[in-house]
Amino acid sequence: MSVFTHIDFDNHEQVVFGHDSASGLRAIIAIHDSTLGPALGGCRMWSYATDEEALRDVLRLSRGMTYKSALARLPLGGGKAVIIGDPRRDKSEALFQAMGDFVDSLGGRYITAADSGTGVAEMRIMAQRTRHVAGAGQREALDGSLRDGDPSPSTAYGVFVGIRAAVRHRLGRDDLTGLRVAIQGVGQVGFNLARLLKDAGAELWVTDIVEANVRRAVEQLGARAVDQLEIFGLDVDVFAPCALGAVINRHTLEALRAPIVAGAANNQLASPELAEDLQRRGCLYAPDYAINAGGIIDVFYERSGGSPAELKAHIEGIEATLEEIFRRSASEGATTTAIADRLARERLGR
């Protein structure tokens, strides 16, 4: 398994493999770019079918974090960690202590946080072994209440204001009352997003691989449950992917009817050229690393000590960033992903 010739290798600064036989830890940390500051990105735990699949994920995700921080105007670089294992069966205190040691071995070049398959509990264990971890403590929420270090409410709020920008640009409306939204994945981020949309008057259709998540959205938010494959072909205004990546592919693209794709998932497009296909179909795509930056902004403010008001204002800047991307895309005829990449590279000084 070669790293340097890998199709997703993008001049990454460092790719490190970690193994601890006692705890069973098998992990990869990728630092993509530290031009703007230390690399920050979540620690994902997933049942990867192969080591190659895990490597591809960490390479793609770490690059996305570089661009995400750049677009969000944060003094941070891009990095990511993945743990190979089933998050429902393979977690242990020893495993995450070993992961904390692994993160600490990089001397602060990489700062970790929660991601798919990990949460506040795991960050607290890792924090016993390294200070280079975010989201392990309590802090003040956007509404002034006390919350734990989970950044998912901020991620959801950023996606919400991003959807607002996309709806304004593509559908020419500011009011979200009656807006039809299909949400794929109603875990922590997806459920928080659904609640914000419901409060704004939107109608919701949801699906998830975890039945309890769907049931919660139906019972608490009045959402309509649909099959996992049916979600793509619904006659809705917005399709919001909020689970794992690569959900927009050749097969699902044919079924897709929504004029807007805007969600929280990373790496939503299975391949870059799909951005052109979406554009040809008249579908407005909100680049994932632009719209889902609320979480990384949250983590930055946790570490810098900014106030909830400052955090909220910074997250709301996602709306202006997307408006610029949409405007430039329309005027230049380039895809939204091409414009977003260009903006990120400009801010990286490339």
Active site residues: 80
133 phi and psi angles, rounded to 5 deg: -140, 140
Query: How distant, in Å, are the alpha carbons of 119, 150, 227, 267, 342 from that of 55?
Result: 21, 26, 30, 14, 25
- Beta strand segments in the chain, E: 14-20, 25-33, 39-46, 77-84, 110-114, 139-140, 146-147, 180-184, 203-207, 224-225, 238-241, 260-261, 284-285
Q: Which residue has the tokens 């939107």?
A: 202
Q: How many CB atoms lie within 10 A of CB 233?
A: 16
- Give CA 268 to chain center in angstroms: 9
Q: What residues have CB less than 8 Å from 135, skipping those under 6 apart?
A: 113, 114, 120, 123, 148, 149, 150, 151, 299, 302
Determine contact, residues 286/160, Cβ cutoff 8 Å.
Answer: no
Based on C-alpha coordinates, what's the Rg of the chain?
A: 19
Taking the C-alpha atoms of residue 193 and residue 160, their distance in angstroms, rounded to an integer, is: 6
Q: Residues 77-94, buried b or exposed e (16+ Cβ, 10 A)?
A: bbbbbbbbbebeebbeee
Taking the C-alpha atoms of residue 7 and residue 56, their distance in angstroms, rounded to an integer, is: 8
37 phi and psi angles, rounded to 5 deg: 160, -175
CA atoms within 13 A on the CB side of 257: 11
Determine contact, residues 29/106, Cβ cutoff 8 Å.
Answer: yes
Cβ-in-10-Å burial (0-12, 13-18, 19+) of 143 comes to: exposed
